[in-house]
Structure 1
């Protein structure tokens, strides 16, 4: 898991010893790591932030882990967050999970527990990135359709047969078939169910 495009584990903790220990642990396993001594320092570096996940302490001076997580959500930055808690901070951990954290670890934790949590978070990030890429591709294909192809697509989404679509659009059923074949090709759909699955994936955003 190395190289410029590798996901990065962003460690956010005000305790220098904890940062160093985590950086060593994760680095030894081949993870790319960036460490920050505060939530503010992390947010200040967002413009140059590599994708990956965040490992943050829940209690820090100023901007705590839960506040940091909420700020990421506010800014729509989809980095999976792992929260580290001290003894007795389970309530805060639960709040973090409710706010979208993917995992929490209570200090002291076993090294393998952290490695497993990071692997899970990065796997979740990779899946989310893959889904986002698929959705972006589908949206781009939809935007490439002609107005008439969109009209035919609307009919298909409504469950109408070719003849009904032709009647509504004032064209022949054969012409509908031509448009239908064209939009299937442009969308990269193998069949009608495949086409409908693609479109319904991004339907909330409209055509």
Structure 2
């Protein structure tokens, strides 16, 4: 019979137990990462900018309400206004949960003022958008007004708000903790250890 003191320490351990606990920690880590990713909504990463050079004015950002109403659907927009063509090109896309919609390109006749460009989007059946690019303030404003009579038959526009005011802002949103309301013991332990 072999004495316990002569057997090396690595032969005395039950390695299947060690492997079990390592696998348990790995699975828990993977579960917590999946919870964080599932609760982190997609947001467009755009900076609100208005740049004018010569006959070209470019604006980009995300529409946000400035009249205190409910939040808008996440998305981004880029507006290119060309003075020589007297038109504005508006490219926009929306984000629905984890999915990004395909881009939508619209072209509108535009008018130039002293320090502003304006155009009207009358395409939607129930709404009219009046957009103003203020070159002096380097901001873009829009007003959505509900149409009294829809431009296409079969649309009920009564559920749409009568008026909404918006501006282009950065795509960032205030941080909402994706871990809130979930049991994440490893993440909680890491926050306690590293004090974050």
TM-score norm. by structure 1 comes to 0.24
Q: Which has the higher helix share?
A: 1
> Rg larger in 1 or in 2?
2
